[in-house]
Structure formats: C-alpha cells, structure tokens
Amino acid sequence: MSARSTPIVHIETFGCQMNESDSELVRAMLKREGFAFTEDRERADVVLVNTCAIRENAHNKVYAHLSEMRSLKKHRPLVVGVLGCMAQNLKSELAQKEPLVDVLAGPDAYRQLPKLISTALESQEQGFSQKAFALDLSEYETYEGVLPDRESGVNAWITVMRGCDNFCSFCVVPYTRGRERSRDPQGILAEAQDAAARGFPQVTLLGQNVNSYRFDEWDFAKLVEAVADQPGIERVRFTSPHPKDFPQALIEVIAAHPNVCKHVHLPLQAGSDRILDLMGRTYTGAEYLALVDRIRASIPEVVLTTDIICGFCSESEEDFLETYCMMERVRFDSAYIFKYSERKNTIAARKYPDDVPEEVKGARVARLVDLQRRITLERHRGFIGRDMAVLVEGDAARSANQGMGKTDGNITVVWDKGPEPFVPGRLVTKRIVAANAATLYGA
C-alpha cells in the first residue's frame, strides 16, 4: 500500500448467508492490513460488491449497482471491486464488458484482496488504471485462522465447510465455490466461543451441504452437538442440509439437545421424480417423504421449510401438479419458491433447453405461493394460545414501540413493548394471541 491516507472501503453484500459470512471475513482481512470501513458509499475510496450467481434477480441487482457507480467514478477516483460467485462465474464478461471494474476476486481469493486493492489504488494515483484479478479456485482454502469481523446483532454466521460436490444440474455453486472441504472442528469451536464471548447468543452453521461435513472422525452431528455444548450459546441453527444424506444421528441430536433449534430447512426443489432426476437431486419423492416422516417422528414440534423451483426444463403441468401435491402432503411451515433461471456453465444450461415459457413459470409460482400462504396461516394459527420462547432481535419493522424476535423454529414474533427492559439477545416468553401468514403476535 502506498503512503496515501488510510483507504476507506464500503462493502455491499448480495445473496445467501454464506456471502454475509464471507463479507465478515473480507472486513477482517482488510482491517488487519490497515483499511478502514464506512457504511456511506459516498465517502469510500473502494466499493466492493460481494455477489451471488444463483438467481437472475441477484445478477440484475448487481448490474444495477454497477451502473450507479459509473456516475460516482466520473466525478472522483474510485476503485470498484466485484467479489464472490458472480465474479467467478462471469469473469470474462465482467473483465471485458465492465470497464469500471478494477478488482475481481473469487470466493477462494480473499486473502489476496489487500494486495489487489492496493495495486488498483496505486495505479489510480499514478494516473492510469491497472486491473487486478484473482479467480483461481482452491481445493484447500477454508480461511482457517481468520476470525470474522462481525457487526452487532444476535446471530453469528459460522462457515463450517466450503464448496459443493453435488453438481445439481441447475446449480452453479460447484463452479463458483469449488469442491467440498471441511474446516477443522477446533477452529469452529474457537469461533463459537469467541462469538459467545462477544455477546452473540445464537450461531448458525453454514455450508452448501452441511451434512457432508467430515473432518477426521468428526461428522456434522458430532459438530452440532459440540457447538451446542459451548457455554453462552443459547441457540444453534444450521443451513442447508441435502435430503440425500440426512443422517439419523443428526435427527437425534436435534431432538435431544435443548438449544439446537427444532427447525430444518430441507430443500425439495420439485415433487416430480422425472424432474428430480433431471435436476440431479439423487432422491425420489417417496424417499423425501420418508425422511420427513422420520424427522417428524423424532421431533414432533419441528418447523420444516423448503426451497422449490418452478418451470425447470421440460416441466409439464403433470410434473408441476406432483410438486403441488407434495406441498399439500408435507405441509411445510414456509417455502422459498422461485422461477427457474438458467445459469451459465451449469449442466442444465449445457444439456437441456430452458423451454417453459416465462408466463407459465410465473403462474406456477403464484399457485404455489397461494397454496403455501394458506398452509402457513393454518400452521401459524395453531400457535395461538401457546407460550413460546422468543429470542429478542430488535425493534419491529413497522414501529419502534414494538419488539421483534424469532421462535426456536425461526418464526417471527412481534409484540407491544411494555415497562420491562427490552434487551436484544435475551430469551423471553411470549403468549401468542394472533397470527397471519407472515408473523405471530405475542403478549
């Protein structure tokens, strides 16, 4: 870095929880090298956009932000960096078609960011623009030894593994984040201890497929139990598991351990065996239902959520109706429902035409959203009259006179504040007095 004043960085994060966690790693590594951070983009010398490549909407948001930065860069020196999955997947396009981008760094190259940014800053000071790119995937990088720079809150994201070996045909993650590799459990436990010491009562363990976690004799069930046993950790969550290898041992840990949350996010993606096979999901609808039954038999109070893709390649009305019927059968507590959008370099993009019309995709999404809203409302109304433990997160979105928090099952609860102390991070008991499809209301 040159003798210039301390460079000020602004980072914007799009996409999944893994990207949130990665941004915390980036902040930690840059601060260690003398960079400062600001929430105000107008004050920044460097703007980093940490991107997602999973869905088209995320791409569009990133390109919109880059367009906004064009005008900023016309009026003052500014280094613009694109990080993460989109940088990895669209490296040629971004390098050639987005001249305002000075730095590109893939998810395995964040240790190189201080040098990349310094190179770009120094070239600007000298009156020219030198691009700085690092986009190699690693078989080993887990950022061990880097303690994330976490912002205040009640939840600490802890990445336990990186990459994915599943190669679902619709998914770009194996190409943008590389192959699976698991972190040393002792490093994970140390990070959980640090989070608890800093006042985070909840940790969420992250991985593209957490139940593939393996390190020597450690599997994911053993890791979850060990994290839950750390003093000061009130709640442990994890996301996301894959239905193909959800072990009985993990179900037993969730059922037996009081501070492992009784919430399982179990991506279904489709209810049709034909579509599941085209997607490369490696399970059938019957196998998925058997897993749901096993989970509910051991954890009767479990909250089940899922992901659904509508309009995957060649999806017929009959295929769609199988998904619809599966959702009626399982009765998820909530579902994230998306239109299929083809991602560059995936198996599906190479092998199958994206042949379901957009209006059909949209109509199918609307039908599933309507069904899920009705199911969620019915399930939420079942909580009325019950006392529930709620982890206080902060003020409700609509009024500072109301508090907001989450149940063990990750359902939002809102209540009117009273004379008692209001302390984010504290577990409180609320009696549920009303409910809609989005929220429980407590007293």
261 is in an annotated binding site: no
User: Do 408 and 261 contact (CB within 8 A), yes or no?
Assistant: yes
Q: What is the pTM of this model?
A: 0.93
Q: Are residues 274 and 370 in the same domain?
A: yes
**Residue 146 is assigned to a structural domain of this protein:** no
CATH of the domain at 129: 3.40.50.12160
Checking if the pLDDT of 97 tops 70, the result is: no
More confident of the two residues 87 and 35: 35
Q: Are residues 271 and 355 in the same domain?
A: yes
What pLDDT, on the 0 to 100 scale, is given for residue 2? 43
313 is in an annotated binding site: no
Domain that holds residue 312: 262-382
Q: Are residues 28 and 118 in the same domain?
A: yes
User: Do 84 and 13 contact (CB within 8 A), yes or no?
Assistant: no
User: Do 107 and 162 contact (CB within 8 A), yes or no?
Assistant: yes
Q: Are residues 378 and 393 in the same domain?
A: no
Domain count within the chain: 4
279 phi/psi in degrees, rounded to 5: -75, -15
C-alpha to C-alpha distances, 216 to 185, 212, 241, 337, 381, nearest whole angstrom? 9, 13, 20, 37, 45
What pLDDT, on the 0 to 100 scale, is given for residue 1? 43
Please classify residue 370 by burial: count the beta carbons closer than 10 Å to its beta carbon, then call 0-12 exposed, 13-18 middle and 19+ buried: exposed
DSSP 355-371: -S-HHHHHHHHHHHHHH
303-321: average pLDDT: 98
16 is in an annotated binding site: yes
What pLDDT, on the 0 to 100 scale, is given for residue 54? 67
Give the pLDDT confidence of 390-421 residue by residue, as tens digits: 999 999 999 999 999 999 999 999 999 999 88
* Residue at which a domain ends, from 330, 356, 382: 382
Checking if the pLDDT of 250 tops 90, the result is: yes
**Residue 277 is assigned to a structural domain of this protein:** yes
Q: Are residues 164 and 202 in the same domain?
A: yes
User: Do 365 and 336 contact (CB within 8 A), yes or no?
Assistant: no
**Alpha carbons 301 and 309: distance in angstroms, whole number:** 26
Give the pLDDT confidence of 215-230 residue by residue, as tens digits: 999 999 999 999 999 9
266-277: average pLDDT: 98
User: Do 211 and 250 contact (CB within 8 A), yes or no?
Assistant: yes
85 is in an annotated binding site: yes
CATH of the domain at 222: 3.30.750.210
User: Do 263 and 379 contact (CB within 8 A), yes or no?
Assistant: no
Helix (H) or strand (E) holding 205: strand 202-206
CATH of the domain at 410: 2.40.50
263 phi/psi in degrees, rounded to 5: -140, 125
Give the whole-number percent of the chain exceeding pLDDT 70: 97
Average pLDDT, the chain: 93
Q: Are residues 168 and 237 in the same domain?
A: yes
What pLDDT, on the 0 to 100 scale, is given for residue 56? 65
What pLDDT, on the 0 to 100 scale, is given for residue 443? 95
What pLDDT, on the 0 to 100 scale, is given for residue 125? 85
164 is in an annotated binding site: yes
Checking if the pLDDT of 8 tops 50, the result is: yes
* Residue at which a domain ends, from 237, 260, 283: 260
Checking if the pLDDT of 271 tops 80, the result is: yes
Q: Are residues 102 and 46 in the same domain?
A: yes
**Alpha carbons 391 and 413: distance in angstroms, whole number:** 9
171 is in an annotated binding site: yes
What pLDDT, on the 0 to 100 scale, is given for residue 94? 77
C-alpha to C-alpha distances, 397 to 105, 127, 366, 402, nearest whole angstrom? 35, 46, 26, 8
Q: Are residues 315 and 371 in the same domain?
A: yes
Q: Are residues 184 and 81 in the same domain?
A: no
Least confident interval from 107-121, 128-142, 161-175: 128-142
**Alpha carbons 300 and 264: distance in angstroms, whole number:** 12
Give the whole-number percent of the chain exceeding pLDDT 90: 81
What pLDDT, on the 0 to 100 scale, is given for residue 3? 42
Checking if the pLDDT of 111 tops 90, the result is: yes
**Alpha carbons 362 and 339: distance in angstroms, whole number:** 7
Q: Which of 86, 95, 92, 12 is CA-nearest to residue 46?
A: 12
- According to DSSP, the residues that pair with 430 across neighbouring strands are 388
Q: Are residues 230 and 281 in the same domain?
A: no
**Residue 418 is assigned to a structural domain of this protein:** yes
More confident of the two residues 350 and 88: 350
Checking if the pLDDT of 75 tops 90, the result is: no
**Residue 44 is assigned to a structural domain of this protein:** yes
* Residue at which a domain ends, from 244, 260, 276: 260
pLDDT band at 57 (very low <50, low <70, confident <90, very high): low
